[in-house]
Structure 1
Amino acid sequence: MSDSCPFDPKAFNSRFNHHAPEFGLNREAIFDDLRARCPISRTDAFDGYVVLTRYEDVVAVARDDATFSSEPGITLPGLPFTEHMNLPIGIDPPESFKYRNILMRFFRASWLKRLTPWVEDYIDERLDLVIESGKADLVVDLTHPLTANFIMHVTGLPRELWWEYSIPVIAAIGREGGNSQRAPTRQETTKLLSDEIDLQRRSPRWSAEEKVIPYLLEVEIDGRKLTHIEIMAIMELLLNGGFDTTMAAMAHSFLYLSRNPDQKQKLIDNPSLMDGAVEEFLRWVTPQQALFRTATKDTEIGGAPIKKGEKVMLAWAAANHDPQTFPDPHEVKFERTNNRHVSFGVGAHLCLGLNVARVEMKAAFNKVLQRMPDYVVDEAGVERAPGLGIVNGVEHVPITFTPGPRTGIKADKETEAA
């Protein structure tokens, strides 16, 4: 990288810092400025890292696991999750494929198709709690409990403990989760998870075909069963990925639709646009805004020299708003074609739960637009996450709407065997 392309310290609080509140308020503008002036730049935050803002550079690095490794850590600063490395995202191919392959049965389309009615019923159950009042908080009343209960339901964790499991994950990335009561620490939740795995090992409640935990207790890799630490690491990845990102994508999307009633009406009048709308919201929001890799050798990106051991930020959010790939990137276009967004990553670590997010988002949008079509966001009560960090989160989205009747639907049926 030449001296003619430095990061301008005047552009952002003397240094680029993706955890700073100022960044959360100006993410797109800051990335646009960097991409135009210095698409591959360095910052001294967190002992220094390289920031990639062009789509082509982000994708190239994400696909090159040999040169840019996940194993030294995929976040900055190191998030206080646990001592367990998340599997399989925390290791490199080909080893990561062994873990990825055993998990795919729970993310294939046919298995998720069986879960879609449960998702729809659970959304109706949540909306029933507020539908007669004419007011709600779409984060507290819907998106947070939906994403948390889904992952609890699928894995076989006790659904009544969804708050205890989800809040520490959200808090670990600088969020409060929309609830003021005392949150369990990550250490407490880790022990809770460990004890639950031990309990299900001793006294199985589900078959291996029904839920993730009993499956992990039986499945083998290289002719051996998984260790307790491996099961913990896999479960923590599922919890970390399952609770917050889709919740954030839905919250921002509901905000957008309220602020753009013509677009909301367009979706109501044209349900066939919903699949495209989900993809466009995923691109536009980019809920997981970045992950990191570490250079395994001296190399270069787009002509810029990178030293062995340097951290490289794959700014998914910047890539998704690159005008060279997405014309009019800051506009939401439900009919956008060739929407090759990287909201789920790309390459060997493509998000396992990408279809889960699509199922949850499509069902939530359909149900809210059917049952609360005239909802309006109370802008004074909207609360963004204090700092974006890894997830582009929203704490509160209060709404008002014309009250309606309850459905009486309960999502109490267990998943059929896959």
Structure 2
Amino acid sequence: MPADCHSGQSVHYMLKMQKRGMEVSSARPFDAQAFNANFNHHAAEFGAHREAIFDDLRARCPVSRTDAWDGFHILTRYEDIAAVAKDDVTFSSEPGITVPGLPADQMLRLPISIDPPRAFFYRNILARFFTVRWLKTLEPWMRDLVDDMVDGFIETGKADLQTQLGHPLTAKFIMHITGLPMERWYELSEPVIAAVGHGKDDPSGILRRGEASRILAAEIERQKTDPSGAPDEKVIPYLLSLEFEGKKLTDAELMGMVELLLDGGFDTTLAAMGNSFIYLSKNPDKRQQLIDDPELIPSAVDEFLRWVTPQQGLFRTAMVDTEISGVKIAKGDKVYLAWPAANHDPEAFPDPHEVRFDRGPIRHLTFGVGSHLCLGINVAKLEMRVAFETVLKRLPDFKVDESGVVRPPGLGIVYGVEHVPITFTPGRKRAAAAA
């Protein structure tokens, strides 16, 4: 921590967090200042106490530094984070967007791991599959998928919203649009979720991520001679059909683009959904508000994306000596763009820790900003909207069994939740209800 950061008072948030339906890991108040003396974004307690941790830093030292993971700067103000994310000249993605970095054979993610203008080439290739117009054609398919999954458990009065709804929804959607074999959705998605959700102190997640890469590489090779779908309908056949100046995309380019879709599509929205359903169970007045007025659901989705901020943030590397809000940043220094801190900055969002469905258009940074704004922004909103509408209509009195909520033992790139068990009044399957 820089010497000029005043010590302030230790921030204790236990009572406030309990009132908001947030989880706490100890009967004792959490000491954010003590944690921030050696800030570690992969520590398990970071996920449970992000609000307190970032509020403490923002109040005492909005641009701070930690020695963890060979050292990096931590940004906590919305204005600073947005400015760095938009400045691709001063702050580069190419030296690596995670700390610690990925293994060399897993680093290339296109376009997010390279800088403009090269990044725009790959972004423009993929963009056609993520427009609101294109996704609207897929909404009926998605609704049938979600209803089928609910039919599978609605008569039992109990379910796990992650394993029986969120996980298959997000995974099967990616399989559907890419042209990957639907029957392998779990085999391909589970290692990815383990990698992005587990803490960096647990190497098993990264090792298991290689399993998904090997499956994907074999599938791309197979589709070179036997494509799964028409090029104008599926991502992989489309990528394989492209030629630029008489040249096909390389295997590295193909893998880099599809790997990014897997990393972003399998777990981020799943994490947002799980945390949102936990909140709605703990705050039945908010849930009833959405049941009474379903037109609020799109606004609620945006607010939950801000409030949860499932992705912990990404990194940039300073390419020259520079400053951020008066703090010197040396060439080569890593800078942590903490999306959750930006989304809970009171200068950007009044009462930032409260869930409010009346905020209007929200300029949150859950999907980043600038040239690397997440391509999947419309996918995430569609998946969450369809899931919310279906659950609130068909399981309106669901209650989360908090004793069964399970999170990864550490914290990776995503603030995820592995199990969200619920009980509810049993209902009928669609066909039976229609009869």
TM-score by length of 1: 0.93
3-state SS of 1:293 partner: strand
**2: CA distance between counterparts of 1:183 and 1:153?**
25
String of CA shifts for 1:367-418, please: whole Å, max 9, x gaps. 0001000001111111223233321111111000011111259xxxxxxxxx
**Is the 2:161–2:274 Cα contact (8 Å) retained in structure 1?**
yes
Q: In the alignment, which residue of structure 1 is the partner of 2:3? A: 3
% of aligned pairs identical? 63
Determine if contact 1:16/1:43 at 8 Å carries over to the other structure.
yes
| Deviation for aligned residue 1:330 | 0.4
Residue 7 to residue 73, structure 1, CA distance change in 2 (3 Å)? farther
Assess, with a 3 A threshold, how the Cα gap between structure 1 residues 268 and 99 changes in structure 2: closer, same or farther.
Answer: same
Cα distance, 1:84–1:316 mapped onto 2, change above 3 Å: closer
SS for the counterpart of 2:336 is strand
Aligned counterpart for 1:199 among listed residues 206, 222, 230:
222
| Residue in structure 1 matched with residue 86 of structure 2 by the alignment | 63
Aligned partners of 2:130 and 2:166: how far apart in 1?
20
> Please, which runs of 5 or more residues in structure 2 have no aligned partner?
9-31, 200-204
2:39 is aligned to 16
Alignment match of 1:263 (pick from 283, 286, 310): 286
Match of residue 315 from structure 2:
292
Residue number in structure 2 paired with 1:210: 233
Aligned counterpart, 1:88: 111
1:315 aligns with 2:338: yes
Mapped pair 1:54 → 2:63: no
Aligned AA (2:51): E
Secondary structure (helix, strand or coil) at the match of 1:313 reads strand
CA shift, 1:215, in A, is 0.2
Q: Specify whether residues 160 and 80 from structure 1 end up closer, same or farther in structure 2 by C-alpha distance, changes over 3 A only.
A: farther
Match of 2:59 among 33, 36, 41: 36
Using the TM superposition, give the Cα deviation of residue 262 of structure 1 relative to its aligned residue in structure 2, in angstroms: 0.6
Residue matched to 1:179: none
TM-superposed deviation, 1:161: 0.7
Residues 164 and 184, structure 1, Cα contact 8 Å, conserved in 2: no
Question: How far did 1:224 drift?
Answer: 2.7
1:131 maps to which residue? 154
Kindly state the Cα deviation for residue 167 of structure 1 after the two structures are TM-superposed: 1.3
User: Is residue 291–residue 313 contact of structure 1 (8 Å, CA) maintained in 2?
Assistant: yes
* 1:184 shift after superposition: 8.8
Secondary structure of 1:395's aligned partner: coil
CA contact (8 A) 2:150 2:165 kept: yes
Corresponding residue for 1:335? Answer: 358
Check 1:189–1:399 CA distance in 2 against 1; reply closer, same or farther (3 A cut): same
Structure with bigger RCO (C-alpha 8 Å, 6+ apart): 1
Give, in angstroms, the shift of residue 83 of structure 1: 3.4
Query: Aligned-pair distance for 1:10?
Result: 5.2
Q: How many Å apart are 1:185 and its aligned residue?
A: 2.8
**In the alignment, is residue 362 of structure 1 matched against residue 388 of structure 2?**
no
- In the alignment, which of 372, 386, 391 is matched to residue 409 of structure 2? 386
Cα distance between partner residues in 1 of 2:177 and 2:104: 21
SS at match of 1:292: strand
Task: Give SS of 2:224's match.
Answer: helix
Q: Are 2:37 and 2:66, in contact at CA under 8 Å, matched by a contact in 1?
A: no
Judge conservation of contact 1:148–1:242 (CA < 8 Å) in 2: yes
Shift of 1:289: 1.9
Task: Give the number of equivalent residue pairs.
Answer: 404
Structure 1 runs of 4+ off > 6 angstroms? 6-9
Structure 1 unmatched ranges of 5 or more: 177-181, 410-418
Residue 383 and residue 124 in structure 1: after superposition, are their counterparts in 2 closer, same or farther (change >3 A)? same
SS at match of 2:316: strand
> Is 1:283 matched up with 2:303?
no
2:172 is equivalent to residue 149 of structure 1: yes
**Matched residues in 2 for 1:7 and 1:342: separation?**
28
Aligned-partner residue type, residue 127 of structure 2: M
Residues 197 and 414 in structure 2, CA contact (< 8 A), matched pair in contact too: no
Amino acid at match of 1:403: P
The answer to whether the 8 Å contact 2:280/2:287 transfers is yes
Aligned to 1:224, the other structure's residue is in SS state coil
Alpha-carbon distance in 2 for matches of 1:256, 1:73: 34
The answer (yes or no) to whether the contact 2:33–2:56 under 8 Å persists in 1 is no
